[in-house]
Structure 1
Amino acid sequence: MSRNGWHLRRESGRFTVARHWPPRFDVVAEAQFPVLDPGRLARQIRQDLWRALRDLRGFSPVIDITVTETGLAVRAGGRCMRAPGDAADRIRDLLENSVRRSRWARWARVAP
């Protein structure tokens, strides 16, 4: 566990950040990203995900990023006592938001 109470796990080709370990996806959405720094991208998505879903009782974010041949595969979601039917759609909308994606990409770009 890191100093700020988040579990960070780096494995070959994979990065996971979660408040509780082991991570659990009661609600989830997925998206593809270009090659970026997985740790920095996970931090930005986690922060925005928390803000977007803070009204869900018992919500605990999980971001899981896998390096692929073409970039990054992101699974975002987490634990939730009772996830409303639109929770996955809300996460998907967050991951597909072009303004946020641009901000995340600027923050997480890999130096040449």
Structure 2
Amino acid sequence: MARSGWHILKDDAGVTLCRHLPPRFDFTVSTVLPSGRAVRLAHQIRQDLWRALQMLRGFSPVVRLEQIAEGWQVMAGGRVAVPVTTAVTARAQAVLDDPSNRARWVRSAGCAK
């Protein structure tokens, strides 16, 4: 575990950021973002996902980035201790789709446009 308390798992396909091992997706939402620094991008997404869903009992964010031709295929979600509702999934997807979040993440991670 890194000093930050987050596990950064790298493999040939991409990067996974999680607090607990093994990473577990009890729910997932996805998007595509341009190429940039994967770990920085994952942390930015994780922070905003946490802010949106911290009230969800037992929530622990997990973010997976896989390299694709368009940049990064982003899968975000995580562990939860309660059943996942459509409202939770919709809120998480709204975080990924928010134009201001996306612009900030792209800037922060030095993504190619």
Please give the TM-score of this superposition, normalised by the length of structure 2.
0.93
Number of the residue aligned with 1:106: 107
Taking a change above 3 Å as real, the CA distance of residues 76 and 34 of structure 1, as seen in their structure-2 partners, is same
Aligned CA RMSD, in angstroms, stands at 1.2
SS of aligned partner of 1:86:
helix
Q: 2-side partners of 1:110 and 1:52: how far apart?
A: 23
Q: CA deviation at 1:110?
A: 4.7
Q: 2-side partners of 1:71 and 1:5: how far apart?
A: 27
Q: 2-side partners of 1:107 and 1:13: how far apart?
A: 22
Q: CA deviation at 1:13?
A: 3.0
How many residues are aligned here?
111
- With 8-17 and 50-59 compared, the bigger mean Cα shift is at 8-17
SS of aligned partner of 2:86:
coil
Q: CA deviation at 1:34?
A: 1.1
Please give the TM-score of this superposition, normalised by the length of structure 1.
0.94
SS of aligned partner of 1:9:
strand
Letter in 1 for 2:98: N
Cα shift readout 1:57-96 (whole Å, capped 9, x = no counterpart): 0000000000011210000000001123311111110000
SS of aligned partner of 1:48:
helix
Number of the residue aligned with 1:84: 85
Q: 2-side partners of 1:110 and 1:75: how far apart?
A: 17
Residue ranges of structure 1 left out of the alignment (5+ in a row): none
Residue ranges of structure 2 left out of the alignment (5+ in a row): none
Percent of residue pairs bearing the same amino acid type: 43
SS of aligned partner of 1:109:
coil
